[in-house]
Structure 1
Amino acid sequence: MSKESEILVQRRNRIVIAARKVFLERGHRATTMEAIAKAAGIAKPTLYGYFPDKDAVFKSVVSTIVEEMKAAFLENLPSEGTPSERIFHALACKFLVMHKVFHGSPHKAELLSEEGRLSADDIHSFKKWLHKQVEDILEDAGYEEPEFITKIMLASIMGVHLEEFDPPTFARGAQLIIHKLLH
């Protein structure tokens, strides 16, 4: 990668990081391109050089969060242990990313709604990927109906996450769900 390309990528990443903060502080509706540019320390025309509109910036923010969740899951998926332990550990780390992202934002519900509307393909693709990861663990361990168990498990854990428990309480709930479904 050329030095110029590297600088452009770094600037784009700074914009996305700044935009994420603005979206979390203001919500999607109240965020403006001007606010994003100001937070990123760039001129508004420069921002438009990277993104055509606010929704494109938001999609990039969501894409970054999805990549963080994938990385957290994969980096924390133990190769040893029971399926229950392996799945719990990886999912807990994935959901910890979500918790860190949305913690303290009064706009969580609005942002999740916009995420579904504007980034449906990214979200669908991630959910499909996540289901496949968990399903493969269950299938390799010989569980019957791994697809069904995975759907129930992930839907239940997402419900616990949406209750906005602190991380230790969330972990207890997720561990209980996984344990009860697999034993």
Structure 2
Amino acid sequence: MTEPLSPLRSGRRDRIVALAQQAFVQSGFRAASMEGLAQAVGVSKATLYSYFPDKDAVFAAVADHVAARLIGAVEAALAEGIGTARQRVTAALTDKHRLVHDLVRQSPHAAELFAAKTRLRSDQFGATDRVIEAALANVLGQVAGNPQELAALLLSASQGIANAAQDFQTAEDRIAQLCMLVPDDNAG
């Protein structure tokens, strides 16, 4: 087990991860090197190696950060008191896919980044999807007979919509249509 980072090192690691994310989006996974990442982040190669053993580990940390942001976006949209169950689920799925669109899909290296994510962090994103699905099911339990099944359907279908859409507006419109499957509880 690794020792927890000091607040100073933790803050520096967070900054490295945020800037490395930008570097991966701009140059792609294959073109990124530890030397290039260190330069993009503004640290020496030795400093970067003191946090991460290799490029895969940097990318994994970036992917974990994105996964946490996805969960946060979904949970914020599903918060009680901000609309009907349908509105909250629509917002949650839209916000999730907007984040992915803004962070990755707009990159000319999107396919390469998704492939690296699948190779390096498939388990993490599977766990992220299960957390999101459970959060959706929790809200859907208020209005749907089989909330787990509906949550799984909505999450999978929204992923297919996001993958197929040529632009985010199309994805957003189709996700809204998909969410018409959610019974309207007239709350909010």
Query: Is residue 97 of structure 1 aligned with residue 91 of structure 2?
Result: no
Q: Which segments of 5 or more consecutive residues in structure 2 lack a partner in the other structure?
A: none
Query: Is residue 35 of structure 1 aligned with residue 36 of structure 2?
Result: yes
The one of 115, 118, 138 aligned to 1:136: 138
Q: Distance in 2 between matches of 1:28 and 1:62?
A: 12
Does the 8 Å contact 2:75/2:135 carry over to 1?
no
CA-atom RMSD, angstroms? Answer: 1.8
**Alpha-carbon distance change, 109 to 103 in structure 1, aligned in 2, over 3 angstroms:** closer
Per-residue CA deviations over 1:2-25 (Å, capped at 9, x if unaligned) read: xx9222122111211221112112
Equivalent position amino acid for 1:19 in 2: A
Q: State the shift of 1:95 in Å.
A: 1.6
Question: Normalization by structure 1: what TM-score?
Answer: 0.89
Does the 8 Å contact 2:18/2:62 carry over to 1?
yes
Moved segments of 4+, more than 3 Å: 164-167, 180-183
Q: Which segments of 5 or more consecutive residues in structure 1 lack a partner in the other structure?
A: none
Per-residue CA deviations over 1:70-123 (Å, capped at 9, x if unaligned) read: 111122224243321110112212222111101431111111121111112211
Q: Distance in 2 between matches of 1:152 and 1:12?
A: 37
Equivalent position amino acid for 2:150 in 1: I
Does the 8 Å contact 1:153/1:181 carry over to 2?
no
- Aligned length, in residue pairs: 179
Higher relative contact order (CA 8 A, sep 6+): 2
Equivalent position amino acid for 1:17 in 2: A
Counterparts of residues 95-174 of structure 1 (less than 5 Å): 95-141=97-143, 143-174=144-175
Q: Distance in 1 between matches of 2:71 and 2:150?
A: 20
Q: State the shift of 1:37 in Å.
A: 0.3
Q: Distance in 1 between matches of 2:95 and 2:109?
A: 23
Does the 8 Å contact 1:78/1:89 carry over to 2?
no
SS in 2 for 1:61: helix
**Alpha-carbon distance change, 45 to 6 in structure 1, aligned in 2, over 3 angstroms:** same
Q: State the shift of 1:62 in Å.
A: 0.5
Where is the helix percentage greater, Structure 1 or Structure 2?
A: 1
Question: Normalization by structure 2: what TM-score?
Answer: 0.87
